[in-house]
Chain A
Amino acid sequence: MVPMFAYVALAAFMFSVGACGVVFRKNPIVVFMCIELMLNSVNLAFLTFSRYAPWALAGGEARLPAHMGGQMMVIFVMAVAAAEVAVGLGIIMAIFRLRHEIDIDEMNLLSG
């Protein structure tokens, strides 16, 4: 059986890659993809802990709410991510129509 550490390490690696992508890439599409990567890493972590929880390993009667909590959360995250992508792409389209370019460094209207 693959040890839990491998899953958690993979999730941490994916999260770091995603975070670096969000911070350093200039193309908003790529930034979005990186955000998805971070969300997926979180999903992986949820699933891992759900699977490797002590009561799940004991092989006894599965207690549904606790057992399924992590997996339920993954479904929620995926739904929210889908909605977020829809909104985000809409914003990007709107900005593109307005300014004809979508370089993130040019979007500094919040500057104080």
Chain B
Amino acid sequence: MNHLLSIEDLDRAEIERIVTQAQRFAEVSDREIKKVPALRGRMVLNLFYEASTRTRSSFELAAKRLSADVVNFAASGSSVEKGESLKDTVLTLSAHKPDAIVLRTPWAGAAELVSRWCSAAIVNAGDGKHEHPTQALLDVYTLQSRLGGIDGACIWIVGDVAHSRVARSNIIAFQKMGAKVTVAGPPTLIPRGIEALGCEVRFTLEELDSADVVYALRMQRERMSESYLPSLREYAASYQINGRRLGPRQVLMHPGPVNRGVELSGEVVDSPQAVITAQVEAGVVVRMAVLYELLAGTRESPPVPEPQLA
């Protein structure tokens, strides 16, 4: 593995390898000294074009536990605000010879693009509404730990699928691990053609009790102003996961940050079915495993594609 750009690039065996590695690192996290020297002398650059405290600090912690040096570069307040292009920013920062760049941008495909401009390993920490592969990996890890396995599990992803990179990466990752995925939400927020990813589509939660796992997505307030929804109240009435809708044997997941009272009621957030804090915990060990996978040992250079007949 040279980069982690999308979940689509990984097969089941690779996902399992990362999850297994993460389990080993989880043992380290339980020790009093939580640091291993695996990536001593390596440099990880966090390049964030979107505000993100949680994902960024999770990556930072992961890199530090592996003894790597970490540099954080936030686009706001930097040369980016002076009009520097993504390419120039990346070329400039590459001059510091980072071994890995963790990249979060509001633009789909940006991570892949950057991977062509520099020699560092690129970790996609969210590219627009496209993918968020480490979130999918940590969700697989969390479910694996909770259920013992994902094969055959029925997973419902509920909410604003259209604007969610988490949804896209998870639809792909859960299916690769043998689960059956259903997406559900208001018709205005389920993108036309999403079923081509292999998932089922529902516009109501009537059959939610068939789910083993309910994965609620964050509902962003700005969707109201674009008329995707008439009101948050109406959304909650139809799609909120609450004590009435969530069955006792169902596992509840959420990528955070939660809007209590919107996509989730307070009672389910605090219920033992919710694994939301376990997901955050998994974030660090899974990201350790990803960085370890990419940076420990030597990297091979990718092949150059041949021109094709049109």
A-B interaction? no
Chain A residues proximal to chain B, CB less than 8 Å: none
